[in-house]
Structure 1
Amino acid sequence: MSESNHAFSQPLVKSLAGERGHIPIARALPDLTPELAGYTIEGIPYSIYQLVKHMGYWQDFMLTHLEGGKPQPPASVQESWPAENTPADETQLQEAITHLLEGVDKAIAIARTVQLDEPLAHFPGETKGGLLRNIASHNSYHLGEIVLLRRLQGAWPPPGGGYPA
């Protein structure tokens, strides 16, 4: 790995984990209940559960590209959002959270090992580093929405604290 690749890899890993500018993703989700995750607020188009599933969908899509695959893009962005607001039960919620966090771990492992300026086989004009940055920014964007929804429900900060508290 080149020196410049290594220099960018370290902050990219922190961004993927959520350690640059906001709470780490894993700390914002562990205490979610099906009721909290599925709660809807008038005027807000999605629940926390839908956000977690949407984040996992696009993270999977980008990870497939990073692993050399060619994922089938959705016919419409709406397909990346689950129809159900609420998980069926605690198991379904925990599976969605675990899936998202395992994808974050996979993206971090890739960021630590690949040549970041390497182009992607099935994504013309994009590099591995660019797509990893996209995962980090997409997750960060939606994590902010999760934090806001939790605040609106009076469910912030999570155990262990959050910033801002």
Structure 2
Amino acid sequence: MEEHQILIDELLHLLNGGNAHADLKRALKGLPADLRGAKPDKLPYSIWQLVEHIRIAQWDMLEFSKDGSHESPNWPDDYWPKETAPKSDEAWNKSVKQIELDREEFMDLIKKGDLYSKIPHGDGQTILREVLQAADHEAYHVAEIIVIRRLMGAW
């Protein structure tokens, strides 16, 4: 039982950013609003598009983990916003807040402790797999956000 709790604690820590790199909150801290939609030369996306992509993908993984009636968006088109910048500060704040809320809901699933049972409506996935995938996905795109900020001289 102690080992299982250690795993739960480590997964919670991982979803909150882990130890090895900056988390999303740190990657976005102090980002000037006018740079949210900027795309450095030859990069295919803006920070806004990355933030929205993180939100959409995490939401999809969470809903899949909870609900057998959930239908995922069409890949890849519906996972990436077309607009390069948020329509407003409100849209930006709403997206960032939703990422935080969905992450908290993932943490609630972890705390229930059933990490290894197959998700009934899946094809072999477990909560453990979905959590690891969500954390890995976010970390990957957080690194891209930091690179974009560095390229724009805003890190």
Fold similarity call, TM over 0.5? yes
AA of the residue aligned to 1:56: R
Deviation at 1:112, TM superposition (A): 2.3
| Aligned match of 2:11 | 12
- Please state whether the residue corresponding to 1:44 is helix, strand or coil: coil
AA of the residue aligned to 2:147: L
Deviation at 1:69, TM superposition (A): 3.4
1:15-44 Cα distance to aligned partner (Å, 9 max, x none):
111123111322222433431111111211
Q: Provide closer, same or farther for how the CA distance between residues 31 and 106 of structure 1 changes in structure 2, counting only shifts above 3 A.
A: farther
AA of the residue aligned to 2:151: L
Q: How does 1:19-98 map to 2 (within 5 A)?
A: 19-98=18-97
**Separation in structure 1 between the aligned mates of residue 99 and residue 140 of structure 2, nearest angstrom:** 15
Q: How many residues align?
A: 155
AA of the residue aligned to 1:35: D
| Aligned match of 1:134 | 133
> Where does the alignment leave 5 or more consecutive residues of structure 1 unmatched?
157-165
AA of the residue aligned to 1:145: E
Deviation at 1:72, TM superposition (A): 1.5
The answer on whether the counterparts of 1:15 and 1:136 sit within 8 Å (CA) in structure 2 is: yes
> Where does the alignment leave 5 or more consecutive residues of structure 2 unmatched?
none
The answer on whether the counterparts of 1:65 and 1:71 sit within 8 Å (CA) in structure 2 is: yes
Deviation at 1:122, TM superposition (A): 1.6
**Separation in structure 1 between the aligned mates of residue 105 and residue 74 of structure 2, nearest angstrom:** 26
| Aligned match of 1:115 | 114
The answer on whether the counterparts of 1:17 and 1:24 sit within 8 Å (CA) in structure 2 is: yes
AA of the residue aligned to 1:87: P
Superposed CA RMSD in Å reads 1.5
TM-score of the superposed pair, with normalisation by structure 2: 0.91
**Separation in structure 1 between the aligned mates of residue 69 and residue 132 of structure 2, nearest angstrom:** 19
The answer on whether the counterparts of 2:23 and 2:139 sit within 8 Å (CA) in structure 1 is: no
Identify, as 1 or 2, the structure richer in strand: 1
Deviation at 1:11, TM superposition (A): 1.4
- Please state whether the residue corresponding to 1:96 is helix, strand or coil: helix
- Please state whether the residue corresponding to 2:34 is helix, strand or coil: helix
The answer on whether the counterparts of 2:86 and 2:92 sit within 8 Å (CA) in structure 1 is: yes
